Structures are given as structure tokens and as C-alpha cells.
């Protein structure tokens, strides 16, 4: 089964809003065995929507659409779909009741625009929106399916998870697609490809497709297999994964959609350990990556972001003498910060960062992009100097990922020795 995705909205084409919906929908469709052929961003113009829709239906039988269902004047999807499916709009009393209840529950006045949202095409099946006021619409005609959903991500996701995906799975089964992604850190794409060349040839012969997906500091290797026997396919992927492990073991840190924040969290939990951070140049970003994970309060004690040099001394993250003698961006300061926060919070492990994120502030000894990462744990403390580029955002990201990758290794090594 193949599908296409159409995301509607001028804001997507002028880059004011990044379309994250289409990617999410693609991923979920894949999990129920539906392949996404293409996805499109189109303007909220009647003619553009109609054209894209009929083009997509010339290629596939299932189209998922997001956007253009809000209560305001710039939304035209509903009227356009009525035209395409030759339907009229009727007041849906059930939906109106839900919209009323939605506003009453929040103590907000119901407005004309919201009432209009209950006017729905008579020829579609209405998909309930539990998280907002724009209903989903499922049209079916001559074996072609069109599912229209609101563009607000959490409303769209709620609808997909509760109603649409389970039903698509029931309706369209047979062909299976499996993916497995191997996450690597600290090796470039070319060198990685060179190391695993023979393995890549072997798995290609077995019908496994390999893709390299680079991101700051890391390369993800995605393995994809198509077929009808899920167990057999899963075994082939498992074999491929096992075969590559000895070749690039030192670079692999996880699998599939795991983040370094989650991986480190699981390791800390499994080893009844805790973490604290003294983040200078990363400015709270590592704390954010750690605390984005649900349940992180069971292993994360806290952090200090001593952004100003004086605050480093004032919070006990570094001695004034060390700062004077070696400077804030130095191995000594990085180590003291890691030790300082570890002692203050009593955590098992700690990370520190200190450096120059840029774009300004570099010196001859420490050009922009110089970042020290310290790691302290039961086995002592060490610090590593990194030299990244000139882009502030990228430097913060790279330093955070490098720090979490080092911490992962430190936790594993610490408990392997015991």
C-alpha cells in the first residue's frame, strides 16, 4: 500500500513554520506497513489543493492531508474538499455539542468562527478531535481514501493514534516494512562507509537497503527491508546488526529513535546512579536534553549554569585562583567545575562544559569553538578539549552531544570494572 501526504499552508512554503507533521505521519504509516511515496507542501489556495490532490490520486489510493481547518478566515481546506468530493456542508450537532463543551470547560466564550467549525461535509465520516475544535474528515470514493486533519501537531497526532492508524492497519495489511537504525558518534560518513564496505555489500545482497544519515557529530545507519514475512525480515536485520558490531563497536551508542539523553538516563537508572551538571558554554542545553526525558527526576539532581566568570567562583564551581591562573576556558577549570557540582549535589557522575560558543569572544589560544568537557565519577575526573567551528548553535549542539557520549562511556567503564 502506498500513500502520499499533503500539508497545506503558505507558512510552510515561506519557511515561517517547519512542517514536522508530514515526517511524523510518514513514520507512523511505515509502522503499519504503508509506504509514503511523496509528500508535498502546498499553498492554501483552492486551485493548488485541487491540483495536488488529483495528481496524488493518480499515483496512490490513500492521501493524508493536514492543515487549513482552523476557525479563522485563512482556512479553506473544508470548502475545497467539498468541491472535490461534490459534497455540501451540514451542521453536525454532535460536533457542535463537543465544541460548546470544549469552550465551556475552559471558561472561554464561544464565537461564530467556532460554530462554523461544526459545519461539516455530508459525504465524509467525521473523525473526532479530542484536543481541539477542528474535526478530521475521512472521504472515500471509488476505492480512494482522503483523510484531512488539522495542522496543529498535537491535535493531528491525537486523531492519528486514536482513530486513523488503527483503522488503516485493519484496512490495508499484507506488505511489511521494517527499519533498524544504528546510531554512531565520532566517525565521519566517508570513513564509516569505508570501514563497513564489505558488510554493506553483504547486506545489500540480502535485500537490505542501507542509508547514511549524518547529523552534527553523528551518522545514523538506517537498514530497511521489505517483504511479507515479518519474522524472517526481523531475523535478517538482527543478523546484519550483529555482523557490523565488531567492526564499529566503539562508535555505536544506540539504536532507532533513542536520544543520548534517554540512553544516558537508562544507564544511570540501571546502575542506581545520579547525575549533575555544571554547564557554562552549553548554557543549560544539556540539562534540557536530560530533563526532556520523562522520569529524569529519579536520576537527575540538578545543574548550575555559571555563565558569568564570577558566578563560577561564587557558586563554588571553580576557585578564583584557578580562574586567574589558567582562565575560565581551561582543563583545570573544567575539572574543578565537574568536581564542584558533583560534591555539591552528591551525584554519582557529573559533566562540566566551559568554552567559547561564539560567534565572538575567541582569543589566539582559545579560538571560537574551543570547548572543554569535564566528566567526574567514582573513578576520578578528566577533561577533553574539543575544537568545533564558528556557528554558535552548532557548537552548543556538538558540545552537548560530545559530553553525553563521553558520559555514556564513563558510566559503562565504571560499572564494567566492578
| Residues within window 57-116 making contact with a second copy, judged by CB under 8 A | 70-74, 108-109, 111-114
CA 71 to chain centroid: 29
Residue 181 or 266: the one with the smaller Cβ distance to a second copy is 181
Applying CB under 8 A, which of residues 223, 237, 267, 396 lies at the interface with a second copy? 396
Integer Cα distance of 76 and 74 in angstroms: 6
Integer Cα distance of 98 and 326 in angstroms: 65
Residue 112 or 418: the one with the smaller Cβ distance to a second copy is 112
Backbone φ and ψ for 219, nearest 5 degrees, come out as: -130, 130
Integer Cα distance of 299 and 239 in angstroms: 34
Minimum distance of a second copy from residue 105's CB (angstroms): 12
Q: What does the angle CA 275 – CA 278 – CA 284 come to, to the nearest 5 degrees?
A: 95
Applying CB under 8 A, which of residues 358, 369, 374, 377 lies at the interface with a second copy? 358
Minimum distance of a second copy from residue 263's CB (angstroms): 17
Applying CB under 8 A, which of residues 259, 273, 315, 384 lies at the interface with a second copy? 315
Q: What does the angle CA 100 – CA 106 – CA 109 come to, to the nearest 5 degrees?
A: 55
Q: How many chain residues interact with a second copy (CB under 8 A)?
A: 105
Minimum distance of a second copy from residue 395's CB (angstroms): 11
3-state secondary structure of 177: strand
Integer Cα distance of 404 and 259 in angstroms: 10
Minimum distance of a second copy from residue 321's CB (angstroms): 20
Applying CB under 8 A, which of residues 1, 119, 126, 344 lies at the interface with a second copy? 344
Q: What does the angle CA 216 – CA 217 – CA 221 come to, to the nearest 5 degrees?
A: 90
**How many Å is the maximal CA-CA distance in the chain?**
79
Build a one-symbol-per-residue string for 156-195: x at contacts with a second copy by CB under 8 A, - elsewhere: -----------------------x-x------xxxx-xx-
Minimum distance of a second copy from residue 358's CB (angstroms): 7
Integer Cα distance of 261 and 1 in angstroms: 35
Q: Is 345 in the site for a second copy (CB under 8 A)?
A: yes
Build a one-symbol-per-residue string for 239-278: x at contacts with a second copy by CB under 8 A, - elsewhere: --------------------------------------x-
Radius of gyration of the chain (CA): 26
Footprint on residues 1-40 left by a second copy (CB under 8 A): 9-20, 22-28, 30, 36-40
Amino acid at each position: 500500500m502506498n500513500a502520499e501526504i499533503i500539508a497545506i499552508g503558505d507558512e510552510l512554503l515561506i519557511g515561517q513554520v517547519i512542517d514536522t507533521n508530514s515526517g511524523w505521519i510518514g513514520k507512523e504509516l511505515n509502522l503499519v506497513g504503508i509506504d509514503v511515496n511523496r509528500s508535498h507542501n502546498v499553498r492554501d489556495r483552492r486551485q493548488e489543493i485541487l491540483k495536488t490532490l488529483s495528481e496524488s490520486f493518480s499515483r496512490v489510493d490513500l492521501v493524508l492531508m493536514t492543515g487549513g481547518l482552523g476557525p479563522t478566515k485563512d482556512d479553506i481546506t473544508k470548502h475545497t474538499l467539498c468541491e472535490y468530493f461534490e459534497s455540501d456542508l451540514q451542521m453536525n450537532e454532535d460536533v457542535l455539542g463537543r465544541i460548546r463543551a470544549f469552550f465551556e470547560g475552559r471558561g472561554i466564550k464561544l464565537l461564530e468562527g467556532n460554530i462554523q467549525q461544526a459545519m461539516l461535509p455530508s459525504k465524509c465520516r467525521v473523525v473526532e478531535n479530542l484536543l481541539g475544535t477542528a474535526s478530521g474528515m475521512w472521504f472515500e470514493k471509488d476505492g480512494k481514501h482522503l483523510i484531512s486533519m488539522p495542522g496543529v501537531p498535537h491535535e493531528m497526532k491525537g486523531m492519528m493514534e486514536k482513530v486513523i492508524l488503527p483503522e488503516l492497519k485493519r484496512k490495508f495489511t499484507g506488505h511489511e516494512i521494517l527499519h533498524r537504525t544504528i546510531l554512531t558518534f565520532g566517525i565521519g560518513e566517508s570513513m564509516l562507509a569505508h570501514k563497513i564496505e564489505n558488510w554493506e555489500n553483504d547486506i545489500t545482497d540480502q535485500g537490505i537497503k542501507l542509508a547514511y544519515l549524518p547529523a552534527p557529530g553523528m551518522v545514523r545507519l538506517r537498514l530497511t527491508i521489505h517483504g511479507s514475512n515479518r519474522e524472517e525480515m526481523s531475523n535478517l536485520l538482527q543478523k546484519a546488526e550483529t555482523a557490523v558490531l565488531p567492526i564499529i563497536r566503539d562508535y555505536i551508542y544506540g539504536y532507532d529513535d533513542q536520544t543520548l539523553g534517554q540512553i544516558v538516563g537508562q544507564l544511570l537508572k540501571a546502575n542506581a546512579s545520579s547525575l549533575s551538571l555544571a554547564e557554562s558554554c552549553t548554557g543549560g542545553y544539556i540539562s534540557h536534553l536530560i530533563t526532556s526525558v520523562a522520569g529524569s527526576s529519579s536520576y537527575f539532581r540538578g545543574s548550575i549554569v555559571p555563565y558569568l566568570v564570577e558566578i563560577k567562583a561564587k557558586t563554588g564551581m571553580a576557585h578564583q585562583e584557578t580562574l586567574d591562573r589558567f582562565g575560565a576556558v581551561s582543563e583545570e577549570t573544567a575539572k574543578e567545575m565537574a568536581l564542584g557540582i558533583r560534591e555539591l549535589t552528591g551525584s554519582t557522575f557529573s559533566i562540566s562544559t566551559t568554552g567559547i560558543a561564539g560567534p565572538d569572544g575567541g582569543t589566539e589560544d582559545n579560538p571560537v569553538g574551543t570547548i572543554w568537557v569535564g566528566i567526574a565519577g567514582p573513578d576520578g575526573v578528566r577533561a577533553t578539549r574539543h575544537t568545533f567551528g564558528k556557528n554558535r548553535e552548532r557548537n552548543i549542539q556538538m558540545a552537548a552531544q560530545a559530553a553525553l557520549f563521553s558520559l555514556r562511556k564513563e558510566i559503562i567503564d565504571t560499572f564494567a570494572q566492578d
